[in-house]
Structure 1
């Protein structure tokens, strides 16, 4: 901020709007829009609103009770999970714009059908477990067909058309198989067998819904408790206290706060809206253009999906599909996540250098001493991480973390959770689970088709053929398919679908299962910032007012390093903590240095403006530093040192701030 702006802020009224954010007593009011993801929900009041709130709370308590005290049959439990959230979903999420004012007749029909299907499954459960997908009756077929349609409709309402259309394409493929060419051909299936197979434990109620009912809903409730208990707000205050004053401060705050909050949030777009409602206006205030501000938040929010311990819930599906202990996957994700945010941090820092942007004055930010004295607010997350790393079950760790959030709230008077706040947290948690349940059910349909038709094994054979020519080309092809399959979908569904198609092929190539699934998982997450369908970038652009497509292109540029990191899993497996400690340290350090070179090349800035020749040298240095042979690392480091020497000699460390301010004024004049 300029000196003039600082003086204006000092002289302002005790509470005022400052751009799109609030000021009070000369300090920034740090309130994120925690309910932004429910903006598409109906606002139902009166007795009906209270009834829906009661159903949501009962749903939360039912899941916690069943998971911890009285387990029930897995299929019955998953059916209850789907029917309860479906009933709430059809009541709260309008099917079209004009139906937003009240619950429409069609919504009541969908609610009644959902309940009726659940009653049918419970009444004939003993017979259905033997005949579904094998020798179904006509009524079995009708129930399965209606149930599948309801899943697709709820997925459309909560997540848009992308996932619904993809699921419908896979359904059509199940019937068009006999007429398809080459590897896509299969013998085809009758409608009765197909739909009863899909609406069973191999489709809708398969792994994704298993994870949604056991883990996702539990951790979304945990996230709601973090919000209501004030822990979520503390994360933002901590990020501002640490880096709000730094060069381009709000952008760095976005990186830190999204890392903390994004791991708890099941969607990149949801995290971008929740934290971006605060960080994007602040980034614009210090001088970032709207496009860059939105892109920064989108990239940071997407990174939250790969941040341990929860990793946007995708980690639970990975553990279920691979059979690898959750703790092993969580620990393996630490260094890749650190590299992702290190690169993002460098990108925003170099942008701030180019534009000569400062952070906010200390007096406008939370007092760092006061914030640090409240570090006990980290206890729920640290406790969760510690219990998971110590081998406690995911469910026990999650429930304990929820209880810890409640206890921590009582350490500060303004955040104490009473019955009303607990009710609100349970309500918010269940409402936040509706979308993820819907996309998991729709992803189950796709996974069921893949298993039934064998298309996954055919893709595996195709990858093996490519690998016979070039492992790099096979990995590049896997990257493209993972991104394409994930476009327009929440992370959880994107990973589940991509893993079903791509991961088996990578494993058959000889790649370690953990490495193969991490590879697919990263690119499924990155689909949220990859043009042309970049959900996180589009969501953030809505807050900044920037062009969605241009924002997505900028987000792709900012997150470019993340597209390289998964290849390092294969060429340098130590990044996933596989191997000797010395090797892990060397790989991590060289990767971090390589990402510095990449950020300098992409942003065309080191100590000052980088020439085209220096950009080329930096790019070569990047690829040498992230490769496995030590002699290539040394060569890359030498090339980077040459550029740094040339830059320092030309500009000098003391000249940097003067140059930045000069170029910033020149940019404004232009």
Structure 2
């Protein structure tokens, strides 16, 4: 049994290393494993300590956060992916890890001078050298832990900062490197700006909370709960997979990692139930990707959104509820219609987790209840994260199978730092882009350029912004993508009168769906690896299932009441009801099944009816959509009755 579990873990790690850059780290560290463990555990203790007593000044907190993070990255992630299996750590990576600690603690040791006297009297040569080295180390660490695209974007931003005077339409006076480097590294508006400030406080805690849920067995409880709730219905294994991935995805924050972790269990079950391999992979990928928009925790970018928009995080998780429900209802309906099409039934009662056993473990949901309750009570995300971690730790001791021993506690503390490394690197590099945008005024120029390109058409502004987010998302992790697009693309929407929160949610959504948008749909590829399915077919199917994610952002921008802007019961209920019905019609059209197999004209009519029902602010259009859907319902019902009668006779 243990041997089978080890084989499953090895298979998961292989898939993660193949499809997820963040998981492609060294396995055979040798004696350096102890050094990594000490740094990682110390790093986790540092964040727990500062969460409890209060953080240091933002740049000092950020420098310790980035310094320890980069040191771990150089020790864990080799210079090339092909070197992962090589035992030990290369000498040059040890040197780079030491330099990463030095350049960041240089800021800590010289903080008063660098942030006061040096600004007035000028920076010393050693300051410029350290800043330059720090920038290079951030970019190299990001390349290893996250990937090349964000490094190219950050490097292009730096080049623009120095040679911007040669850029037509978007030019600026240009900055000397001696000025630009210290502004990037010794100020609170670039590398140590908002993304790292949030990463070093809220994000780290919630990532660690996700690790606690996994290693205390609470994540498995979510799976069992999902299967008990939906497993007996038509296509039960698929619906349970969607529900379980939604529950787990909201705390893991990684589409690919959640696809592999949940999919290793759900995808084989879906295949055994009769779902096509491509569909099993796609449904898991779609649900896991959607976990990042699922309150109460969502992805790491949501914490940065709270800071950028000035909206308390407790309000963001409420605002995000309706879009998230619409997204998952779309995926769930797609699974339902696929199951009806192929006559895939639910699981028999004896194969479902016993309800008595689940009731006995109901206390495992307390950590999530603690976080939600504390956030809604108006306390800070830091306090909520700390309370959730403490509650998960305490609850784990209630029973033997979830209890953490001494060595397991140390392992969990180490993993808490490890999972944060890609986020730290991404936030630091994204901070470079934000710093350049702020220094040069590039954000306003790009926003103006989008407005000019769209020729005043609001729809084209949304369309171009969507394309930019998806294209960036194909190479950037969600957090970095959001930081970049929030600085460059969201201002164009805001300039056109879109409420801040709706504009930021728009770019947030489209950055996330890049994980299931062909041709670079990494979550779908990871699911296909488990299902042994065609990766591209899995990606296309995931796109069909997640079609809601491409429609909902337009709906809440055109009708901000869906993100609770100036919403009342009477203004919210009609568009909410029609949106859910519209999603059902569109999902049926995508899956090519409604009450029975539709003819081509009926399938097109389902799409049209769905769009009419989701179309905001016009009751006549919505009534037209209801009428069209009713007509298709009658036609298909009569055809199905005729088919059944003919078959029986």
User: What range describes the TM-score normalised by the shorter chain of this pair?
Assistant: over 0.9
Question: Which residue, out of 633, 640, 647, partners 1:644?
Answer: 633
The answer to whether the aligner puts 1:585 opposite 2:573 as a matched pair is yes
Over the aligned positions, Cα root-mean-square deviation in angstroms equals 2.6
Written as runs of structure 1 = structure 2, the 5 A alignment for 1:352-371 is: 352-371=339-358
Q: CA deviation at 1:355?
A: 2.0
Partner residue, 2:102: 116
TM superposition shift of 1:119: 3.1
Q: Match for residue 181 of structure 1?
A: 168
Deviations 1:486-512 (A, max 9, x none): 222221111111111111121111111
For 1:375 and 1:33, how far apart are their aligned partners in 2?
30
Listed one character per residue, the Cα deviations across residues 112-155 of structure 1 (whole Å, up to 9, x for unaligned) are 11111123212322221144699433222211111111111111
Instruction: Call closer, same or farther: CA 1:169–1:584 in 2, change over 3 Å.
Output: same
Cα separation, 2, equivalents of 1:238 and 1:89: 36
1:87 aligns with 2:74: no
Take 1:549 and 1:648, find their aligned partners in 2: how far apart are those partners?
A: 34
- Given that 1:134 and 1:193 are in contact with CA atoms closer than 8 Å, whether structure 2 keeps it comes out as no
* Residue in 2 that maps onto 1:98: 83
Q: Indicate how the Cα distance of structure 1 residues 139 and 329 shifts in structure 2: closer, same or farther if over 3 A, else same.
A: same
TM-score with structure 1 setting the length: 0.90
Q: Relative to structure 2, which stretch is displaced further, 33-42 or 532-541?
A: 33-42
Q: How many residues align?
A: 635
- The one of 44, 48, 55 equivalent to 1:64 is 48
Paired residues for 1:97-176 under 5 Å: 97-98=82-83, 100-130=86-116, 131=118, 135-176=122-163
Which runs of no fewer than 5 residues in structure 1 stay unpaired? 1-13, 23-30, 660-670
Q: Is residue 612 of structure 2 the alignment partner of residue 632 of structure 1?
A: no
Distance (Å, rounded) in 2 between the aligned partners of 1:21 and 1:655 = 45
Deviation at 1:68, TM superposition (A): 1.9
Is 1:241 the counterpart of 2:228? The answer is: yes
* Alpha-carbon distance in structure 2 between the residues aligned to 1:163 and 1:127: 32
Cα offsets for 1:444-476 (capped at 9, x unmatched): 111112222222101221334456632111111
Q: More deviation in 114-123 or 331-340?
A: 114-123
State the alpha-carbon separation in 2 of the partners of residues 406 and 119 from structure 1.
32
Contact 1:222/1:398, CA 8 A, preserved across alignment: yes
Q: Residue 528 of structure 1 contacts residue 534 of structure 1 at CA under 8 Å; is this kept in 2?
A: yes
Whether the 8 Å contact between 2:29 and 2:88 is mirrored in structure 1 is: no
Equivalent-residue separation in structure 2 for 1:369 and 1:575 (angstroms): 38
Contact preservation (8 Å) 1:594, 1:621: yes
In structure 2, distance between residues paired with 1:39 and 1:573: 38
Of 389, 399, 404, which aligns to 2:386? Answer: 399
> 1:344-381 CA distances to partner (integer Å, 9 max, x unpaired)?
00111111222222344332332233223422211111
Which stretches of structure 1, 4 residues or more, deviate above 6 A after TM superposition?
Answer: 14-18, 31-35
Segments of structure 2 that go 5 or more residues without pairing to the other structure are: none
Structure 1 CA distance for aligned equivalents of residues 373 and 287 of structure 2: 24
Alignment partner for residue 536 of structure 2, among 549, 562, 585? 549
Contact 1:244-1:253 at 8 Å conserved across structures: yes
1:604 paired residue among 576, 583, 592? 592
1:619 aligns with 2:607: yes
Q: Name the SS of the counterpart of 2:290 in structure 1.
A: helix
| Matches of 1:649 and 1:533, distance apart in 2 | 42
Q: Cα distance 1:555–1:415, how it changes in 2: closer, same or farther (>3 A)?
A: same
Confirm or deny that 1:294 pairs with 2:278. Answer: no
Does residue 479 of the first structure (1) align with residue 463 of the second (2)? no
Residue 422 (structure 1) shift: 2.4
Deviations 1:582-618 (A, max 9, x none): 2212221110000001011111110110111111211
8 A contact 2:277–2:532 mirrored in 1: yes
Q: Which moved more, 1:164-173 or 1:640-649?
A: 164-173
Question: Does the aligned pair in 2 maintain the 1:85–1:437 contact within 8 Å?
Answer: yes
Structure 2 partner of 1:524: 511
Q: Which residue of 2 aligns with 1:337?
A: 324
In the superposition, the TM-score normalised over structure 2's length comes to: 0.92
- Conservation of the 8 A alpha-carbon contact between 2:208 and 2:416: yes
Residue pair 2:375, 2:381 contacting (<8 A) in 1 also? yes
Distance 1:80 1:267 in 2: 24
1:537 to 514, 519, 524: 524
Aligned partners of 1:404 and 1:216: how far apart in 2? 18
Deviates more, 1:516-525 or 1:97-106: 97-106
CA positional deviation for 1:655:
5.1
